[in-house]
A and B are shown apart, each in its own frame.
Chain A
């Protein structure tokens, strides 16, 4: 047996740099904890942010369309974009740990290490087209995420974590089976070769059954992660049980990572004109937006409402994947980058109002009543929250309107007028539940019996995060164009 010769340059180790940086950061935090255990969370938060910052820098310096490490790492525009969004999203959400009140999760330095490990997992999901690596990355991130949720250490958090975990395990089974089906047809677990084999075998009889079957199994797994109905069942419960900061995080970053995977996987199908998958995805997307909107209408708790709303948004965006146009994919990233800020703001506002006694409701921590008359108690906060709500509802000129505009435009361009109208009308339904909060805040008489519960958890860091989110939401018009340019360039460069 001869020695294996590996050309070191061909490994293209640089492609791994962003992930390595995150990993290093996590390990450093663990080591610091080992050395000195009574350090404050501010240190870890800062370290985490710095790590992510460096990772962003590393990501930006990558060359587009390179592969590394035996083809397992794929750096194209989409993976750069995905990683950037993941890193930026994480960076925006982690300062939410700097609260006024003490919470269980942030008392562990491991929390921040796990957080970085999770980001590390997501990065691999975005930066690979190898199903194995994607799966391992996914599980790394998911296991860390389950733990992070449970670490909030409330009864509901535990319930949330176990629900998420169990459904995640089922989804993992589907993912494995789906991958097996695809592997069975193609003998490959790498998408670039999978697509080639698909192409060459399209004429074979009954080939469609395993190909589409694999896709369906994958849809279950992906649908679970991006919370499509009916694989969404965990979402509202987990959002409710988890801390608001974690819930907000979950509504963005894991979904972006999974959306990238979905893009790669289903993009492959679209490329081959396997319309069935396209229709299935569109149908699923419509079901998701519609039903999620309906359920969000009747919620009594703002956090739960936001959970359903983010399900609905995910469904809305999913249509963009089914279009298989550059504009569609770009609009997806566009949407999520704008959604990130708005949802950051909305959940951060909830997080600010986190206190330790459920005053208004036995179970709900953020019932609508809690915000009644907020305009009197905290006018600026109320206005900002209202702006986030309007943005989520897609009222111009706030940021998410532009996202909606691009997505709808992409849908219209591809000729799916009926879909566009359904999505538009869904937005009209959605307006109701966002307005409901605005109405509570602005138009209902205030509840004087309680102190400033809407301020309970306020701290400078949180204010800054909210301010940033509000700024990004209001002033969107000024950066939409460069952002869109950037995204379109990157997406276009990867051949989507």
Chain B
């Protein structure tokens, strides 16, 4: 049962993500990404990480995708994207080599073998509960820092997208400085 689910999800995720990176249409690409994210949350549920599954759904498929959608509207993304792809061979070699390396690293039997857990979930507690417990004790500080990070992201987003950035005080122009020239003429 688990195996079937894994393979279905696995194939789907791989397929969808391939669509994401290969599609020429930005909408297809994004939709495939969103769908892939949903499938990943499915995997999380299989693995018993219910809370993360939910978060994945909400944050990724919800928030992030919404953000991207807004962005796309701004960028007039209905146009088909034209990309000049240089050497496909190079991309192939590099990703092939990386895939090989990654698979070798992660397929090593040593991973997950005879490991003492660092933060063991309390027995008999469901996953969201356990996560909450850990998050607000052991990982309180990272959590707070993450909050700051989101604050930073927020401020950054606001500043960068604001109208005030349209005119620059710092822009550098090519050519002689009109002020200097004026002085020289005088």
Contacts and interface: CB of A to CB of B under 8 A. Distances in A.
Q: When A and B assemble into the complex, do they touch directly, with CB atoms less than 8 Å apart?
A: yes
A147 B152 contact: yes
Interface in B145-186: 145-146, 148-149, 151-153, 155-156, 159-160, 164-165, 168-178, 180, 183-184
A213 B155 contact: no
Contact of B183 (A104, A114, A358, A451): A451
B142 interface: yes
B76 to A, nearest CB: 19
Interface in B107-125: 108-118, 122, 125
Contact of A151 (B110, B125, B151, B159): B159
A188 B118 contact: yes
Interface stretch (B4-12, B80-88, B131-139): B131-139
A357 B148 contact: no
B142 A210 contact: no
B105 interface: yes
B97 interface: no
A370 interface: no
Contacts of A217: 105
A175 B182 CA distance: 54
Interface stretch (A177-185, A264-272, A420-428): A177-185
Given A103-B170, A124-B145, A358-B173, A70 B108 contact: no
A23 B149 CA distance: 11
B173 A357 contact: yes
A140 B145 contact: yes
B110 A197 contact: no
A460 interface: no
Interface of A: prevailing SS:
helix
Contact of B110 (A108, A132, A201): A201
Interface string A103-114: 111011010011
B104 A70 contact: no
A357 B175 CA distance: 6
A154 B175 CA distance: 16
Contacts of A209: 104-105, 108, 110
B63 interface: no
Contacts of A185: 110-111, 115
A200 to B, nearest CB: 9
B110 A356 contact: no
B110 A357 contact: no
A121 B152 CA distance: 11
Contact of B172 (A184, A204, A365): A365
B74 interface: no
B175 A184 contact: no
Given A113-B155, A147-B156, A153 B105 contact: no
Contacts of A1: 122, 125, 129
Given A117-B148, A132-B139, A355-B177, A150 B170 contact: no
A213 B168 contact: no
Contacts of A186: 115
Contacts of B149: 121, 136, 139-140, 143
B101 interface: yes
A217 B101 CA distance: 10
Given A187-B118, A206-B110, A365-B172, A214 B105 contact: yes
A155 B170 CA distance: 10
Contacts of A451: 177, 180, 183-184
B152 A114 contact: yes
A356 B172 contact: yes
Which one of B111, B156, B172 has the greatest number of beta carbons of chain A within 10 Å? B111
Given A72-B138, A117-B151, A139-B149, A146 B156 contact: yes
A205 B175 CA distance: 66
Contacts of A70: 137-141
B90 interface: no
Contact of B175 (A114, A132, A190, A359): A359
Interface residues of A, number: 78
A187 B117 contact: yes
A110 B156 CA distance: 9
B102 interface: yes
B106 to A, nearest CB: 7
A113 B155 CA distance: 10
A197 B174 CA distance: 59
Contacts of B180: 450-451
Nearest to B115: A187
B152 A210 contact: no
Interface in A309-363: 355-359, 362
Interface string A1-44: 10010100000000010000001000000100000000000000
B175 A358 contact: yes
B146 A157 contact: no
B106 A117 contact: no
A189 B115 CA distance: 13
A210 B110 contact: yes
A147 B129 contact: no
Nearest to A4: B137
Contacts of B169: 102-104, 107, 153
A133 B110 contact: no
Interface of B: 101-102, 104-106, 108-118, 122, 125, 129, 133, 137-142, 145-146, 148-149, 151-153, 155-156, 159-160, 164-165, 168-178, 180, 183-184
Given A107-B169, A139-B149, A188-B118, 5 more contacts: A70-B138, A121-B148, A180-B106, A213-B101, A357-B178
Interface of A: 1, 4, 6, 16, 23, 30, 69-73, 102-105, 107-108, 110, 113-114, 117, 120-121, 124, 130, 132-133, 136-137, 139-140, 143-144, 146-147, 150-157, 177, 180-181, 184-190, 193, 197, 201, 204-207, 209-211, 213-214, 216-217, 243, 355-359, 362, 365, 450-451, 453
12 contacts: A1-B122, A105-B170, A114-B156, A120-B148, A143-B152, A154-B170, A181-B105, A206-B109, A213-B108, A356-B173, A356-B177, A450-B176
Closest 4 CB pairs of A and B: A213-B105, A187-B115, A184-B111, A147-B156
